Structure 1
Amino acid sequence: MIYKMFTGIVEEIGKIRKIKENDLVIDCKKVIEGSNIGDSISVSGICLTITSITDDSLHFQLTEETRSKTFFGSEQEKSMVNLERAATFDKRIGGHLLEGHIEGTAICKKISILKNSNEVIFEAEKIIIDNIVEKGYIGIDGTSITIVSIENNQFAISLIPHTMDITTLGHLTKNQIVNIETDINARYIRKYVEQIMKN
């Protein structure tokens, strides 16, 4: 069985043309190239299947599960999304492997503008905090990011100018909701340790 995986390296910022009920239409250019109906695309970290293609847009359908786990289920309006095509065997993994299975969301609590980067603090639910470690990876809106620090129910990251230029994270605002996928390796290790402790 071949699994669809992503690298967390955003290829393009797409513009949401339409989101009505379960229909999602995104205007884009680069990720359309070589894409076919049935292919998987990471849409701000969510693995979605292409249902239709036009010259300048991709069409998807959202399930109830997707809405309940992601920012599409919130009342916040979204105009831009990060896009990445599924990885191929000959593609370098510049970030870390992501499945496109969102575990939940986090809220941007504070943005500090520093000399060479922005420090961003997020607040997340316990299940996410339990699955992350300092200096480990996390997927935020489909972008591979390194965690700087963790304290209670919050974690901090640093965004360099390049990341802010090519992803939607450069447009973050306070109280904005983002999609989160923790590192799959960390989740498996945690589950394994829990099983050992039970025995």
Structure 2
Amino acid sequence: MTLLLIRILDFIFSFFGLLFACPFLIILTIIGYFDTGSPIFIQERVGRNKKPFNLIKFRTMTVGTASVASHLASSASITNFGSFLRKTKLDELPQLWNVLKGEMSLVGPRPNLFNQTELVLERESRGVYNVRPGVTGLSQVNEIDMSTPILLAKTDEQMILTLTISYYFKYILQTVTGSGSGDRVTKD
């Protein structure tokens, strides 16, 4: 019952979030166009039941940056506007479309790339792929990112096993108020 209620809340929040944020999304897209020439970033990620889906974000790195986990990317690849988007977490806003479509939840394990073999194996062994990936969750508010795959998979499993409506709102509120720092990148 909790998962059904979460899906209903996801649909309502993402629908109204996209509706009300539409003018703001247009402005960010225009600024992003002047920043990189290609403001929207689409990347194949691992979804529920290991089914691939296309994650949508605002581009924060230069066009042509290698398709690797953020902690493996160079900080030199991040644009000035991209840095602002990451700090404010506005780069995640387009994912509301993924949530509306049912590919993601607002709360769940962050979707990883298929080439993150160690993380894929750890998550698979812990049943993490049995749920929709999320925009935020326990790992994100505790600043645990994909650079520590075993800890991340354990924390994701803990979140899945203990997720209630109360925790759902708690993780969203913590994210909106600034908990977590986003994905780390390699310092140059």
TM-score by length of 1: 0.25
TM-score by length of 2: 0.26
* Greater Rg over alpha carbons, structure: 1
Richer in helix (by share): 2
